[in-house]
Amino acid sequence: MAKRSTIIAAGVAGVLLVIAGAVTALNFSSSESSSDATTVTVRLWDEQVAAAYEKSFSAFERDNPDIQVGVEIVPWDDYFEKLRTDVAGAGAPDVFWVDGGSYPAYADAGALLDITTALPADAQAGWSAPVVAQYTRDATLWGVPQLADPGIAVYYNADLLGDAGLTADDVSALTWDPTGDNDTLIGVLQKLTKDYNGNTADSAEFDGSNLSQYGYNAGYDLQAMVLNYLASNGAQFQDESNQYAFASDAGIASFQYLVDLMNKWQVAPSAADTNTNGDFSREQFLQGKMALFQSGVYNLANVSAGANFDWGVVRLPSGPAGAISGVDGIAAAGNAASQHPAETQRVLEWLGSAAGSEFIGASGAASPAVLAAQPAYAAYWTSENVDISPFYDVLAAGTAPAPRGAGWPAAENAMRPLLDEVFIGRTPVDSGVRAAQNAANATQTE
Amino acid sequence: MRSRGRLRRRSAITGYALLAPSLFGVVCFLLLPVLVVLWLSFQSWDLIGPITFVGLDNYQSVLSDGVFGNSLLVTLIFVALVVPIQTLIGLGAATLLTRGLPGSAWFRTIYVLPWICAPLALGVVWKWILAPTDGALNTLLGQRVEWLSDPALALPAVAAVVIWTNVGYVTLFFMAGLLNIPGQILEAARIDGAGAVKMFWHIKLPLLRPTMFFVLVTTVISAFQVFDQVYALTQGGPARSTDVVAARIYYEAFDAFDLGRAAVMAVVLLVILVVITLAQQFYFRRRVTYEMD
C-alpha cells in the first residue's frame, strides 16, 4: 500500500500538471489558429467601423492566405483603461486604434511601431494631411490614419422646425455673439424650446425647469461644443507649447455663452442630465425631443438608423471669429511588441490603402482618412439622400485642433469635475474655468 | 522517540500538503498583491513607461492632497450612513422573518435577490430610476429631483442603493443567528415573564453578539471598499461628493495612470481597515458569547 505522503505528493503533482496543461493550452490557442495562418489582432471601439473592417479583412485574407485578422471591439468607456493594462501586461493586440490624446504616452514609452520607417513611403501617400500631422510626434508618424472626422455641423429635426414655423434655411446661417449684438441663435432656440405646457421659451409663461422639447445641446462635449465655441470666438484650447489656455477672456466668454444657453435661457438640457450621460442629447434628438443637435459625422450612422423623422444637416453657428470647427482623426497603431511584426506591418499597410479603407467609406460608417476612399463615403450618404457638405464646407474657415500632448488623460481627469460644476451652474464661469485651466496645467508640470 | 518524531514530521507534512491549495491561493492572490502594492507605492509608474523609485514622494503627495482628504471624509460619511442603517434594517427584517409569519419564505428570497445580483448592473438600473429627466422615481413623485447631480443628495442616494443591495446579506446572517438561539432559553425567559421587547434586548441581542461581530466587520470593510455602485451611478461626482477612496484609487490608476499614488491610497485604505477591524475585535472580544450553555 502506498504511503499517505506519496499519495498526497502525487495528488499535488497531478493538480500542478493539470494547471500547467491548461495554461499551455490557453497560450497555444491564443497565439495560433487552427490553420497554419498567423493571426493578427486588430482592436477598435467603433462597432460600425468594425463591421466594415470585417469585410475589408475578408478581402485581405483572400489575397494573403497566410494571415488571419481577428477584430476585437472594446467599448469606448473602457477602451483606454484596458489598452493600458494590456500593453503593461504584454497582452495588447497587434494593431489598435488610438486617438490624438492617448497616443503620445504610448509613443514615448516605445510601445508603438514607427510607421514612418515600418511602411514603404508609397504606402504612406494619400493620407489626410491633418490626421498625419496629428499623429506625428518628433518627426515620426505613430499610426496609420484611419478616420478623418471633418468639421462639426448641426443636425436638425425638420418636423420640429416646421412646428415652430421655421425651415432649414432659417437655421443654416445662425450666429452667436457673447455680447448679444449679433446673435441670432438664442432667438431661434427660444422658438424651438417648449415646456410641458407647450409654452415656447420666448413666451412669458415659459417654465424652464420643466422642458418637454429642447432647442439645442449645450453641455460639456469637447469635440462637438467646447472646441468650436472657443475657436469661433478667437480663443485657444491649448497654446503652441500645449499648455491649456482656454481661460482667456474670449475663452471664458465662450464658456459663459454655453452655460447661459442651459441655465439662463434654458434652451438646452440641464447639465444635471448631460454631465453624467454623454449620450443624453443624442438620445433626446433621436426621440424627437431636440430640434438642433450639434455633432460630427461620427453620429451620422446613429442618426440615420435611429431618427424616424425628417432630418438634415446645416452649418454650425458662426461666432465673432467665424464658424470654426474642431477636427479630429483616429489612427491604427502597430504594437511594437507584436509577436508577428511582418504580418502586422502587412495588415497596417492594407488599412492605409485605398482598397482597405474603401469598405469604411462605402458602408457610411465613418469618414476614411485615406483620401482615395473618401468619395465612397460621400457617395454612400448621397445615395441615402443626406447632404453631408456642411461637415466639409466649414473647414474652409479654418480649424481648431483636438487636444494634444502626452498629458491629456491626466489633464482631463483634473479639469473635468471642475467644468462639470461650471456647466451645472454651481461655480461661477470665470473662476471655475480658470480653476479648471490651472488644474489641467498643474498635471503637466508634475 | 525517533518514531514519534517521524510521526510528528509526517503529520506536519500531511498538514502542509492539505493546506497547500488554499495557501497557494492566499499567497498568490492576497499576500503577493499586497506586497506588490506596497512596493509600487514607492515607485512612479504610468503602466507603460519605466518604473522609477521615488522614495516617499508619493506618500507626501497623496497625504497632502486635498482631493484624497475629501475622499477619506466622503468614505467615512458613507460608512457612517450605510453600516448602522443596513444593520438595523437587517436585524429588524430578520426578527420579523423568524416569527414564521405568512409569506416569510417569499420575503427571504426577495431580500436576498439584490445581494446576489451584479452590483454594477444594479447601479445601471438605479441610474435610470434616479435620472432627473424621465427617471422612474421622479416620474412617480411627479417632480424633478436631481438625486445624483445635487452634491447634497448624491451620497445619500448612493448609500440608499448600497443599503438596498446589502440588506438581504445582513438579514440572512441575523436570521441564522436568531434561529440558532436555543428554544429552551427563550422558553425559560417567557416563563419568567419576559415580554417580546425584554426578550429581544436581554436574551436575543446578547446571544447575537458573534453574528453582530461578523456582520459589522464584513459590512464595514465592504462599505469602505464600495466602488461598483459609485462607478455606475456618479463616477465620484458631482463636485467629488461621492468620490470614495476606492473610486479615487481607480481614477488615479486608470484615468490619470499614476500607479504610485494609487498604491499609496490603497495602502492607506488597508491600514484604516486593519485598525478598524482590530478595534472591533478588541471591543467584542470580552463581550462576544460563543457558548450558549
State the pTM of this model.
0.82
Percentage of chain A surpassing pLDDT 70?
92
A11: chain B residues, CB-CB within 8 Å = 17
Inside any domain, residue B45: no
Pairs of CB atoms within 8 A across A/B: 91
Residue B203 belongs to domain with CATH number: 1.10.3720.10
- Model pLDDT for residues B176-208, shown as the tens digit of each residue: 999 989 888 888 988 888 888 888 888 899 999
Kindly state whether A34 is in contact with chain B, defined as any CB-CB distance less than 8 angstroms.
no
Q: How confident is the model at residue A1 (pLDDT cuts 50, 70, 90)?
A: very low
Report how many domains make up chain B.
2
Q: How far is B96 from chain A (nearest CA, A)?
A: 39
Sign of CA dihedral A329, A252, A202, A324: negative
Q: How confident is the model at residue A257, as a pLDDT?
A: 98
Mean pLDDT of chain A: 91
Q: What is the pLDDT of residues A203-225, one digit of tens each?
A: 999 999 889 999 999 999 999 99
Q: Tell me yes or no: is domain A36-150+328-383 CATH 3.40.50.1370.
A: no
Q: What does the pLDDT read at residue A7?
A: 54
How much is the pLDDT for B104?
80
The mean per-residue pLDDT over the stretch A174-181 comes to 96
The domain covering A153-326+407-445 belongs, at the CATH homologous superfamily level, to Periplasmic binding protein-like II (3.40.190.10)
On chain B, the residues whose CB falls within 8 A of the CB of A269 are: 133
Return the bridge partners of A294, or none: A154
Say yes or no to pLDDT of A368 above 80. Answer: yes
Using a CB-CB cut-off of 8 Å, the residues of chain A touching B47 are: 84-85, 87-88
CB A274 within 8 A of CB A259: no
The stretch A297-311 carries a mean pLDDT of: 93
Instruction: Compute the nearest-CA separation of B268 from chain A (Å).
Output: 22
The pLDDT value given to residue A30:
45
Cell 450605510: give the residue: B82
Q: Is A85 on the interface with B (CB under 8 A)?
A: yes
Determine the angle formed by the axes of helices B151-180 and B66-97, rounding to 10 degrees.
40
- Domain range list for chain A: 36-150+328-383, 153-326+407-445
User: Does the pLDDT of residue A34 top 70, yes or no?
Assistant: no
Question: pLDDT tens digits, residue range A220-248?
Answer: 999 999 999 999 999 999 999 989 999 99
| Average pLDDT over every residue of A150-171 | 96
The C-alpha cell at B22 is 488554499
pLDDT score of A249 more than 70 = yes
Give yes or no for residue A111 having a pLDDT over 70: yes
Determine, for residues A105 and B13 on separate chains, whether the beta-carbon distance falls below 8 Å: no
Is the pLDDT reported for residue A197 higher than 80? yes
Q: Computed over its alpha carbons, how large is the radius of gyration of chain A?
A: 25
DSSP, residue by residue, chain B? -HHHHHHHHHHHHHHHHHHHHHHHHHIIIIIHHHHHHHHHTTEE--SSS--EE-TTHHHHHHHT-HHHHHHHHHHHHHHHHHHHHHHHHHHHHHHHHTTT-TTHHHHHHHHHHHHHS-HHHHHHHHHHHT-TTT-HHHHHHTS---TTTSHHHHHHHHHHHHHHHHHHHHHHHHHHHHHHS-HHHHHHHHHTT--HHHIIIIIIHHHTHHHHHHHHHHHHHHHHT--HHHHHHTTT-STTTT--HHHHHHHHHHTS--HHHHHHHHHHHHHHHHHHHHHHHHHHHTT------
Q: What is the pLDDT of residues A37-60, one digit of tens each?
A: 899 999 999 999 999 999 999 999
Same structural domain, B219 and B101:
yes
Cβ contact B256–A108 (<8 Å): no
B292 belongs to a structural domain: no
Residue A29: pLDDT over 60: no
Do residue A88 and residue B48 have CB atoms under 8 angstroms apart? Answer: yes
∠ CA(A38), CA(A42), CA(A46), 5° rounding? 155
Contact B20 A12 (CB under 8 A): yes
- Which residues span the domain enclosing B22? 2-40
- Do B169 and B281 have their domain in common? yes
The answer on B275 and B153 residing in a single domain is yes
List, for residues A52-105, the tens digit of each pLDDT value: 999 999 999 999 999 999 999 999 988 999 999 999 988 999 999 999 989 999
Amino acid at A330: I
- Cis before B33? omega within 30: no
Q: Does A36-150+328-383 match A153-326+407-445 in CATH topology?
A: yes
Evaluate whether residue B114 is within a structural domain: yes
- Yes or no, beta carbons of A417 and B239 under 8 Å apart: yes
Q: Write out pLDDT tens, residues A384-400.
A: 999 999 999 998 888 89
Q: Give every residue of chain B whose pLDDT is below 50, as ranges.
A: 293
Residues B140 and B281 in one domain: yes
If you search the block for the grid coordinates 509608474, which residue do you land on?
A: B45
Same domain, B33 and B134: no
Lowest pLDDT segment from A111-120, A429-438, B147-156, B177-186 = B177-186
Instruction: Say what the pLDDT of residue A33 is.
Output: 47
Is B144 an interface residue toward A (CB < 8 Å)? yes
Q: What's the burial of A146, exposed, middle or buried (CB within 10 Å: 0-12/13-18/19+)?
A: buried
ipTM of predicted complex: 0.77
- B129 and B20, same structural domain? no
Residues B16 and B128 in one domain: no
Residue B52, domain member (yes or no): no
Residue A32: what pLDDT?
46
Whether B104 and B204 map to the same domain: the answer is yes
Instruction: Check B132 against A275: CB less than 8 A apart.
Output: no
State whether B24 and B146 are in the same domain: no
Q: Is A289 on the interface with B (CB under 8 A)?
A: no
B17/chain A closest Cα distance in angstroms: 7
pLDDT at A4: 55
